[in-house]
Amino acid sequence: MKRKVATAIMISTFTYTLMACSDSSEVKVGDKKIENTNIAQNKDVDVKEVEKQAAKKAIDYSENDFFNKNNSVNVDHLHGVGYAHNDGSIYFASHDGLKIYNNNTWYTTEKENNDYMGFTAVNEGFYSSGHPGKGTSLPDPFGVVKSLDGGKTVLSLDLLQVSDFHIMDVGYFNNDIFVYNTHQNTKMDIGLFYSKDDTKTWTKAKLAGVPQEVSQPADHPSFTLSVHPKEEGRVAFGTSEGLYESKDYGNTFTKAINESFQITATKYTETGILMGIWNGGPQLVKWTNEGQFEQFNIPKFVEQDAIMMISYNPKSEGEIVLVSYKGTIYLTKNSGKEWQTIVQNGKSITK
């Protein structure tokens, strides 16, 4: 595989933020009371009880009136993708709510069609951040949240009406939360912060050893952030200069691969880290835990299109979904031997 980047492409950035809600009828933000049936501070809800109830049964998308089956879905302006709930369903977070692909069927949600930013799927649901959608009375921005029931109930964790994170990731099983804050707020200055206790406390990482594009970010940074699903403290940045990895919660980074190449997307698996790279054209590779490259066959992308997001099925690492910058989504269930196009130019493909 050629590893020197032949040309550069323009990479748009997307915001990752955590979000959560509850069943409380009103929540007080400062002196302002917000009437809503689907948001509450941690003090207003027993999150452990919500988790317990959510764990009792799997989501039945076809029988739950919160989810609407759709033969034609617009899947554009995406801000995250992942296998939420570890049931094989692929969640796509867009500016107008969730789009869910389950058993070759598309679903949208009846309510809470929020502009989910920094969306991250985890074993029990998803974390996100972002802005309220039409018909909701959530504050703007709604800070860090999570949901355990497919977005029907959103549990507020922190930074309600304070922040909207564009760069965020959460460990799939360990739930380590990492956010890159690009604008100073009441709790954070600019930099990488992490929480090991669902945002009750935040710690700023030292970021020793990262390239300048990370240490001194632009207004709209294009580097990627990925958190290991199980290993605590393991986090990586994908940059225009290559992959930088930390095993101490972001305090010290080393360049994981000697070669320099432009990374457009990253996603840790248990056996390595998947990367979308640009090498005169898009490529999908894995840097394994043994320090070896694996390259995957990928579909033919249109000119100047590239891999914007990657996710995979934690129950089957050979099942991988790719989102392109121009709105096409590809799915493989056999490590790239065969690919299916499920969205073309932002519109779902009906069989």
What pLDDT, on a 0 to 100 scale, did the predictor assign at position 220?
Answer: 85
Report how many domains make up the chain.
Answer: 1
What pLDDT, on a 0 to 100 scale, did the predictor assign at position 124?
Answer: 93
Q: Can you tell me whether residue 50 is helix, strand or coil?
A: helix
Residue 231, in any domain of the structure: yes
pTM (two decimals) = 0.88
What pLDDT, on a 0 to 100 scale, did the predictor assign at position 34?
Answer: 40
**pLDDT over 50 at 332, yes or no:** yes
The dihedral formed by the CA atoms of 188, 192, 196 and 200, expressed in degrees to the nearest 10: 10
**pLDDT over 70 at 10, yes or no:** no
DSSP string, 291-307: S-EEEE--PPPPTT--E
Q: Can you tell me whether residue 155 is helix, strand or coil?
A: strand
Task: Report how far apart, in Å, the C-alpha atoms of 80 and of each of 58, 133, 207, 242, 335 are.
Answer: 22, 16, 24, 22, 21
What pLDDT, on a 0 to 100 scale, did the predictor assign at position 351?
Answer: 65
What pLDDT, on a 0 to 100 scale, did the predictor assign at position 7?
Answer: 36
What pLDDT, on a 0 to 100 scale, did the predictor assign at position 15?
Answer: 30
Q: pLDDT digits over 164-218, tens only? A: 998 999 999 999 999 999 988 888 999 999 999 999 999 999 999 999 999 999 8
DSSP string, 78-114: EEEEE-GGGSSPEEEEETTEEEEEETTEEEEESS---
**What range does the domain containing 163 cover?**
69-348
Task: Report how far apart, in Å, the C-alpha atoms of 338 and of each of 92, 128, 144, 334 are.
Answer: 22, 31, 37, 7
Residue 329, in any domain of the structure: yes
Residue 74, in any domain of the structure: yes
Residue 220, in any domain of the structure: yes
What pLDDT, on a 0 to 100 scale, did the predictor assign at position 13?
Answer: 33
What pLDDT, on a 0 to 100 scale, did the predictor assign at position 219?
Answer: 82
Residue 52, in any domain of the structure: no
**pLDDT over 80 at 255, yes or no:** yes
The dihedral formed by the CA atoms of 260, 261, 263 and 268, expressed in degrees to the nearest 10: -50
Residue 27, in any domain of the structure: no
Check which CATH number belongs to the domain holding 146 and give it: 2.130.10.10
Q: pLDDT digits over 16-72, tens only? A: 322 333 333 344 433 334 444 345 444 455 666 767 777 667 899 999 999 999 989
Percent with pLDDT over 90 in the chain: 70
Q: Which of 17-26, 214-223, 269-278 ranks highest by mean pLDDT?
A: 269-278
Q: pLDDT digits over 279-331, tens only? A: 999 999 999 999 999 999 999 999 999 999 999 999 999 999 999 999 999 99
**pLDDT over 70 at 3, yes or no:** no
Residue 240, in any domain of the structure: yes
Residue 137, in any domain of the structure: yes
Mean pLDDT of the chain: 86
C-alpha 56/C-alpha 243 separation (Å) is 40
- Amino acid identity, position 99: K
